[in-house]
Structures are given as structure tokens and as C-alpha cells.
Structure 1
Amino acid sequence: MSKNRFSEGSGPSQRQLRVGELIRRTLSDVLNQGDIHDPDLNRLSITVTEVRTSPDLRIATVYVLPLGGHNRQEAIAGLKRNKHELRRTLSKETTLKFTPDLRFVIDETFDRLDETRELFAREDVQRDLRDDKGDDDGDEA
């Protein structure tokens, strides 16, 4: 009766996921090996955390994070400056019919995790969490 959530168009297809992971691994290898001829980019340690592709696989949004979260704008500027060389290398290293246009953005996931940890560490939140646990014991006020 109900189909999985990807068959209804609400999420990425298996093909999008596979291509995104292939691009992520390839770009990670290229950046780690320093194959790009840009000293400013090569001195940065950049992690490619995720790649999301458009349904037609023509656009790949590459989520990156420089080591320690520092030099974010410099990392994005270096990646954008070398986008054509990265695409050319991606084309050589993969067997994709079309090499997607690369769009680089900072991955904010880790920042949100830190904010969530800070929120849960607050005294008023801890108090509310303790109070909620007490309500589940079947005690009615």
C-alpha cells in the first residue's frame, strides 16, 4: 500500500545517492593529495562531508568544512576559483556521462550540533528534562 519515501519524489533516488558518494570520495581524494595547483587551497585541510546532486545529476552541491572550522570563506573562495580544474579531474576519475556543475557551500551541521549541545547543557533545559522524566512515572498531579 505505502511505497518507500524515495519512490514518491520526496527524497534523493538511489542513483543520486550513489553519484553523490562517488563525487564526495573523488573530491576528497583530490583535495587530500594536493592535486590542484593552487598553493592557497593546498595549504588548507578541507573535508568534503556530503555531496547532493540534482535529480538530473547536472548540479552537485558539495558540502565542505575546513579543518577546525577556520578559514571558511578562504576555503570556499579557493574551491570556487579552482572549480573548473576540479570538474576536469572529476571527469577523468569517474565514468559519469556528464560531469556535474560543482557548487561549494560550508557544512553547518557541526555548528548546529554544538548549538544543540549547549542548549541541552543549560540549567533550565536540564530542569525541564528532569521534570519530564518524573511525569512518565504515572504520577498524576
Structure 2
Amino acid sequence: MSRHSHAKGRETGPSQRQLRAGELIRHALVEVLREEALAEPVLHEVSLTVSEVRMSPDLKHAICFVEPLGAGVTGQSTSEIVAALNRASKFLRGRLARTIDMKFTPDLKFFHDDSFNSAAAMDRLFTNPRVQADLHRDDEGEED
């Protein structure tokens, strides 16, 4: 019987090791993005939030979720910014290798984090007058 046979057939979340490595990479990546001048002109004058880094089980691949702040102000679209980050991923990986203490520096793949858009849509929904009326009607109807 293998060590991991209990997880077969079930989806399990990331291990503690993956979570710790992801946070280590996220913090180091934020520092590198803040301090380094990247060659990609699209990334000049763009502030980024690195919201999450998901690591593969072998810790050799990292999926980095980013949200550009003020992308519309600089005239760059989110997809252009994410594409520029992916083009600069080898450079960023090299810089990460100098700052983190891991056996392997993972390959980086960047994606736009849609959770910010989802949260904004839910906020708009909850501030909708029709939804507010339903919420207040439910509150008045409940008795403790």
C-alpha cells in the first residue's frame, strides 16, 4: 500500500508544503516586482497586486495570480500586462532564485485574478435597491 493511497479518488487541496512555498514565492515576487526595473515597457508605471501563488505538488511550477492596479490609467489592458509578465517570467525567476531558499526555483506562469471582478460584481448586486428592499423585508419578517 502506497503512502498516498488514501487520497486516490478524492480531490484534496494543496499540502501545507505547497501553501508555505506559495506564500514564500508570493512575498519574494512582490519584492522583486517592486525593486526591479523590468525591460517590458508595458510594465512601466503599473502597480501589481500578487494575490495568490499556487504551487504544483513537486514545487517546480508556480501559477501566480495578479491584479494590475490602475491599468486603465496607463492605457494598458490587463491582458497586455499579464502577457508582459509571462514574457518576463524567466527574468523574474532568475531574480527569485537569489532571494528564496528552495532547492528549485519554480517556473512562473501569470494569470489575471478574476476574484476582484467577482467581488465588485457582488458588491454592485448587494447595493442594488431591489436587492436592498428584499434584504430589509427578510429582516423585518424574522422574529427572535
TM interval, shorter chain, is 0.7 to 0.9
* C-alpha distance after superposition, 1:21-63 (max 9, x if no partner): 1111111111111243334323322221111112221221101
Label 1:129 to 1:107 Cα distance change in 2 as closer, same or farther (>3 A).
Answer: same
What does residue 88 of structure 1 align with?
94
More divergent stretch after superposition (82-91 vs 33-42) = 33-42
Looking at structure 2, the residues matched to 35 and 105 of structure 1 have their Cα atoms a distance apart, in angstroms, of 21
Following superposition of structure 1 onto structure 2, how do residues 13-28 of structure 1 map, counting pairs within 5 Å? Answer: 13-28=15-30
Structure 1 gaps of 5+ residues are: 1-6
Q: CA RMSD in A?
A: 2.0
Count of aligned positions: 132
Q: 2 CA distance for matches of 1:52 and 1:130?
A: 40
Q: SS at 1:96's partner residue?
A: coil
Matches of 1:121 and 1:40, distance apart in 2: 35
Give the superposition deviation at 1:123: 1.9
> Are residues 1:114 and 2:116 paired?
no
What percentage of aligned pairs have identical amino acids?
42
Tell me the distance in 2 between the aligned counterparts of 1:123 and 1:46: 33
Q: Distance in 1 between matches of 2:143 and 2:71?
A: 43
The aligned residue for residue 4 of structure 1 is none
Q: 2:57 maps to which residue?
A: 55
Is 2:108 aligned against 1:102? yes
Q: Does the CA contact (< 8 Å) of 1:46 and 1:75 recur in 2?
A: no
Moved over 6 A (4+): none
Q: Which stretches in structure 2 are left out of the alignment for 5+ residues?
A: 1-6
Deviation at 1:124, TM superposition (A): 1.9
For residue 115 of structure 1, report the CA deviation from its aligned partner: 0.5
SS in 2 for 1:48: strand
Q: Does 1:43 align with 2:45?
A: yes
* Structure 2 match to 1:67: 69
SS of match in other structure, 1:23: helix
TM-score where L is the length of structure 2: 0.81
Comparing 111-120 with 52-61, which one deviates more in the overlay? 52-61
d(CA) in 2 for partners of 1:31 and 1:20?
Answer: 16
For 1:48, the aligned partner's letter is V
